[in-house]
Amino acid sequence: CPGFSADCLETLEEIGHENRRYFLDAGGGSYEYIPALNLRADHLEALAGLVIRHIQGWPEADPEWDPGRREEWARMSLKLAKEQGAER
């Protein structure tokens, strides 16, 4: 069973243990969990770099982002969109 590109504890528990039991109980003969590449720091650094590159411009990526101001940011976004010609 392959894992994800970066496993979390939930993945390890579900795939590595719980689903293993289901598979074997259903008659499966051999079940091997293949760990994700997250055992390697360079792999996680590459994933983090991809995420950072592709979330540029998202409010949540701004160091000043405050989740408590989500409504305010949504109103500002709507106002800017309407100024640019959006109908809603």
Residue 5: its pLDDT value, please?
73
Which bin fits 46, alpha (ψ -120 to 50), beta or left (φ > 0)? alpha
Task: Flag whether the pTM goes above 0.75.
Answer: no
Residue 24: its pLDDT value, please?
93
Residue 85: its pLDDT value, please?
93
Q: What is the pLDDT along the chain (88 residues), one digit of tens a residue?
A: 555 777 777 777 888 888 889 999 999 999 888 777 667 888 889 988 999 999 998 888 888 888 888 888 889 999 999 999 998 7
Residue 23: its pLDDT value, please?
92
Residue 1: its pLDDT value, please?
58
Residue 51: its pLDDT value, please?
92
Find the Cα–Cα–Cα–Cα dihedral 43, 45, 46, 52, rounded to 10°: 150
